[in-house]
A and B are shown apart, each in its own frame.
Chain A
Amino acid sequence: MDTVGLNSYLLVAAMLFVCGVVCMAVKRNGIGILMGVELVLNGANLNLVAFARYTVLGLDGQVMALFVIVLAAAEAAIALAIALNFYNNHLTIDVDRGSELQG
């Protein structure tokens, strides 16, 4: 049990974060970008929970993680509704195809 330290958790969280940012940057599919956001949020959550376990941050970290989970769900609900609305109007979910607004 004790062989896994704080650093391992932080490393996994950082990997999740980087994967999420790369996913947000390269994906052109709206849903794909939202999946990247989820990865970033979960990376941060893993950080918080790991800090709660290993540092003096304590319960604060776990409470924050709980709130973030709830918020992520609310945000996903809104984002998916907006993506569906975009699809209904454009018949695609490719964010680059939204080109009405430019200048």
Chain B
Amino acid sequence: MFSTLLNQILSDSTGQPFGSLQLFGPELTLSAGIVLMLLARLCGIDRRLPTHWIALWMTFIAFSLGVFQFVEFSRSDLGTVEYFSGLMVFDRFSALFRLGLLLFLIFTITLTVISGIPDRDDAPDFYSLLMGASVGMLLMGGANHLLMLFLGVEMSSVPSYAMVGFLKGRKASSEAALKFVVYGAGAAGVMLYGISLIAGLLGTAEFPQIAIQLQTLFAGESAALSNPAIRLLMLGILMLLVGFAFKLSVVPFHFWTPDVFQGASAEVGGFLSVASKSAAFVLLVRTVLAFVTPASSADLGQIYLTLGLGIGVIAAITATFGNLAAYSQTNMKRLLAYSTIAHSGYMLMAIAALIVLRAGLEPGSTGYDDRCARAVEGLLYYLAVYFFMNLGAFAITALIRNETFSEEIEDYAGLGFQAPILAIGMGMCLFSLVGLPPLGGFVGKLFIFAAVYDSGFVHPLMWGILAIGGLNTVFSLFYYIRVMKTMYLQERPATARALRVPAWSYSGAFVLILTLPLLLPLGTAVQLVSGVAKRAAMSLFAGL
């Protein structure tokens, strides 16, 4: 029996050209990297060969495998491949997300090497946690089963708790980690209870089966809220959404974000802010598409429409809250945390648009899949830009901390003239976060707002949400500009330590590599990136 199992895993018996283990290659490589790092310390090799080289090389191999699979998969005509007997799914969407995440991991490891946050003794622990969390996020990107959903969320959260508390002996760091673990464990528990209700009600936990079961379950009955089964289903979905809201730091489950980001080191903050959020959004898209299908009955569609509008309202509240609360911040990491909350709000608008379009439009009407795919495409494009601008902002915060030993905004006074490369890079990241026209963030916002505008034709409330989103963009300008004002218009105190960050150093080059792509979306690059995002988004709808 064991040998049949092994055979099935190694070479797929279903006649697919891709075996399960082969598709799982990048994750396996990362896991092998973790084992290697721990073994290296056991044998004392880490004294001669710095651990970050193992981490970097294994991530690079995983990335190359991912590229190889992406190209190979694009050549074949396969839409989606389920592997590990339906637990995971591989399509262009998950392939693209995997590439993005592994590239991000390479950038994060490089940043930690430059800024030197884990010292030599702690490096194996730190990189194991980092890569372990990344494996969890990769699982989230390919989840096709409610169990994998929960496993992915937990596997990415649990190492994150430890990474937040990594600055040992610091009061703030230990407090941040405790707050994170308490909120996180609570949200995960509620999410699991929701999953158990959904799985029990539907009698299945596989995503493709959910829609079919929903249809048979409510075939003869009304699917209005008066039906107890529907109430149970909605309760389960709401509990599931609580877990997502925690991961995405959406109001009212955002309390942990500022504290955790301020207490953790800026490098960890950047990782949590970009990687963890994008994984959660990718998983949310998959979950939404599993539940909200064109085949859902009219009553159920009505309930989903209300749910989508509710998520839209919450997204608008989240964006507004994040932007308003960021005004009074004096600590850079805390400011970026509130900005992260605000950006979660913007991106959640795309999800709301997706649900509203999918539930509200007449199935089979012209461009039904196309219009839904455009919301996902906007989200993917925004995530791609967010990768650079938000990691850039956190990285520069870390690099400035290494020079001035401070993360308070007032200590940034006069940096514009002492460390021009850092200040200009920070300016580009912040203005891109606002969404000012020449920079990448503008195009990303445009794509998302276009999808929200489109969903307004289904329900006019979405236009109101769009208006709030637009207003928020204006609000956010002020607090980002305050940082720039401190850097350029205030004198550096004579007693302050002088900075020397030349452009031709590792840190200068790193900042350049991160911020230059923000300028790219001026011309053909927009078409290139959005083309890739579009194909990935369309692959989600092809099979339905």
Give me the interface of A with B, judged by CB distance under 8 Å: 13, 17, 20-21, 24, 30, 33-34, 36-37, 40-41, 43-45, 47-48, 50-51, 55-57, 60-61, 63-64, 67-68, 71, 74-75, 78-79, 81-83, 85-86, 88-90, 95, 98, 100-103
Of the candidates B147, B181, B205, the one whose C-beta lies within 8 Å of that of A82 is: B181
| B365 interface contact, C-beta 8 A | no
- Give A88 to B193 CA distance when docked, in angstroms: 33
B197 touches A103 (CB 8 A): no
Q: How far is the CB of B164 from chain A (nearest CB, A)?
A: 9
- Give A51 to B199 CA distance when docked, in angstroms: 8
Residue of B at shortest CB range from A58?
B203
Residue of B at shortest CB range from A90?
B171
- Give A55 to B202 CA distance when docked, in angstroms: 9
A68 touches B150 (CB 8 A): yes
Most buried by A among B151, B174, B205: B174
Q: How far is the CB of B386 from chain A (nearest CB, A)?
A: 24
Q: In the complex, which residues 160-179 of chain B have their Cβ closer than 8 Å to any Cβ of chain A?
A: 161-162, 165, 168-172, 174-179
Q: How far is the CB of B293 from chain A (nearest CB, A)?
A: 20
Contact stretch, chosen from B256-264, B434-442, B502-510: B256-264
B177 touches A85 (CB 8 A): yes
Q: A67-B151, A85-B165 are contacts. A101–B199 as well, Cβ < 8 Å?
A: no
Q: How far is the CB of B150 from chain A (nearest CB, A)?
A: 7
A40 touches B186 (CB 8 A): yes
Q: Top 4 A-B pairs ranked by shortest CB distance? A: A40-B189, A51-B200, A98-B175, A47-B196
Q: A40-B186, A67-B147 are contacts. A79–B161 as well, Cβ < 8 Å?
A: yes
| B534 interface contact, C-beta 8 A | no
B178 touches A30 (CB 8 A): yes
Q: Which residues of A lie under 8 Å from residue B258 when comparing CB positions? A: 101, 103
Can you identify 18 A-B contacts, CB atoms within 8 angstroms? A33-B186, A34-B185, A37-B186, A44-B193, A45-B196, A47-B193, A57-B204, A60-B199, A61-B200, A74-B154, A75-B158, A82-B178, A83-B181, A89-B169, A90-B171, A101-B176, A101-B259, A101-B263
Interface string of B127-170 (1 = CB under 8 A from A): 00000000000000000001100110010001001100100111
Q: Which residues of B lie under 8 Å from residue A102 when comparing CB positions? A: 259
Q: A82-B162, A101-B262 are contacts. A60–B205 as well, Cβ < 8 Å?
A: yes
Most buried by A among B177, B192, B258, B328: B192
Q: How far is the CB of A24 from chain B (nearest CB, A)?
A: 5
| B492 interface contact, C-beta 8 A | no
- Give A74 to B466 CA distance when docked, in angstroms: 42
Residue of B at shortest CB range from A37?
B185
Q: Which residues of B lie under 8 Å from residue A56 when comparing CB positions? A: 203-204
Q: How far is the CB of B436 from chain A (nearest CB, A)?
A: 27
Q: How far is the CB of A63 from chain B (nearest CB, A)?
A: 7
Secondary structure class of chain B's binding surface, majority of residues: helix
Number of A-B contacts (CB under 8 A): 144
Q: In the complex, which residues 327-362 of chain B have their Cβ closer than 8 Å to any Cβ of chain A?
A: 328-331, 334
Count, chain B residues at interface, CB 8 A? 46
B177 touches A75 (CB 8 A): no
Q: Which residues of A lie under 8 Å from residue B199 when comparing CB positions? A: 48, 51, 57, 60-61, 64
A40 touches B190 (CB 8 A): yes
Q: Which residues of B lie under 8 Å from residue A30 when comparing CB positions? A: 178, 182
Q: How far is the CB of B335 from chain A (nearest CB, A)?
A: 10
Q: Which residues of A lie under 8 Å from residue B330 when comparing CB positions? A: 103
B174 touches A89 (CB 8 A): yes
| B284 interface contact, C-beta 8 A | no
B182 touches A33 (CB 8 A): yes
Q: Which residues of A lie under 8 Å from residue B329 when comparing CB positions? A: 103
- Give A81 to B179 CA distance when docked, in angstroms: 13
B171 touches A37 (CB 8 A): no
Q: In the complex, which residues 256-302 of chain B have their Cβ closer than 8 Å to any Cβ of chain A?
A: 258-259, 262-263
B174 touches A90 (CB 8 A): yes
Q: How far is the CB of A81 from chain B (nearest CB, A)?
A: 7
A81 touches B162 (CB 8 A): yes
Q: Which residues of A lie under 8 Å from residue B169 when comparing CB positions? A: 89
| B462 interface contact, C-beta 8 A | no
Q: Which residues of A lie under 8 Å from residue B188 when comparing CB positions? A: 37, 75
Q: Which residues of A lie under 8 Å from residue B195 when comparing CB positions? A: 44, 64
B168 touches A85 (CB 8 A): yes
- Give A71 to B263 CA distance when docked, in angstroms: 26
Q: Which residues of B lie under 8 Å from residue A43 when comparing CB positions? A: 193
A57 touches B181 (CB 8 A): no
B174 touches A74 (CB 8 A): no
Residue of A at shortest CB range from B213?
A56
B177 touches A86 (CB 8 A): yes
B178 touches A95 (CB 8 A): yes
- Give A41 to B197 CA distance when docked, in angstroms: 13
Q: A41-B192, A47-B200, A101-B263 are contacts. A64–B147 as well, Cβ < 8 Å?
A: yes
- Give A84 to B301 CA distance when docked, in angstroms: 49
